[in-house]
Amino acid sequence: MCGIAGIIHLDGPGDVGREMTKMLQSMKHRGPDSAGYALYGEPKDHLVMRFKLADPNDTSDFDFSERLERSRREVESRLSKIGASVDRVDGESAYAYRAEFRYEGELKPLADYVENIPGCEVLSLGHSLEIVKDLGDANTVAGQYKLDAFRGTHAIGHVRMATESDVDIAGAHPYWAYPFSDVAVVHNGQLTNYHQWRRRLERSGHRFQSECDSEIIAVYLAERLADGLSLETAMKQSLEDLDGVFTYLVVTEDSLGMAKDEMAAKPLVLHQADNLVALASEESAIRAVLPQEIDSYDPYEKEVLVWSR
């Protein structure tokens, strides 16, 4: 059992970091192992890359810090070698980092070059998307990465109970749609044709950092967006191509979307107002940020909804 949540401000930025923490923390019982955020600030003229160089489960031997510092310097060096103009690289935790840089080339060779450094994983890359995920509940992760101060227009989040894989960052949601800018997904459920779609997408040159089917959905959608489909059309097509029982949320630079499969067995509750949309696996998550009297409802089976700011 896991929990997913999303929120979008339709009339300007809001405290999406603090709001998402409240929503996810209210669903801690659905997934205490890890918490993850895909947060969207105002679009920037430079790129923001979130990456990690180790996992919290890694053994911290005597030269752990020195090794990570050498790897951090190598990331900065490779960004420069590939043609990026690096503005800054900041440590966000003992093993996670945030880089800002300017780059006009394709993102795939850049991400591949950086990830060729042992232990390195690019968590997100884009002009407004920032993915933060780590072990523990939402309050723990938000405090570690100071997410309560994050202001932006929209966000999705996930709390995970690890049932079929290790408790680590690789298994934590959300997933960036490598190598596409500013697309991320969280998902509750299971794809039954996961291996078929993974092989098909790998033959197209995509790499996957996990065994999680949510990563398949992210890349599937981003590939169709790159082909020129609208987000809504891509999501509707996903309900024809992806088999299983699932509900997912997807975010792009300016939109938030939700889709339910034809069984609609995975829960999702939605509140929609003129200036804000909030949705989550449980109504308690919406109540955590909107304690006043509000209307909410459950989207129908095979329903696709998209909101753009």
CA dist., res. 16 & res. 130, Å (int): 12
CA dist., res. 147 & res. 132, Å (int): 9
Query: How is residue 82 annotated by DSSP?
Result: T
Judged by phi (left if over 0) then psi (alpha if -120 to 50, else beta), residue 36 lies in: beta
3-class secondary structure, 120: coil
CA dist., res. 159 & res. 167, Å (int): 12
Residue 160 near residue 173 (C-beta atoms within 8 A): yes
Helix (H) or strand (E) holding 23: helix 16-25
One-letter amino acid for residue 173 of the chain: H
**Residues identified as active-site:** 2
CA dist., res. 110 & res. 86, Å (int): 13
Cα 58–Cα 171–Cα 202 angle in degrees, nearest 5: 110
CA dist., res. 167 & res. 126, Å (int): 27
Residue 20 near residue 39 (C-beta atoms within 8 A): yes
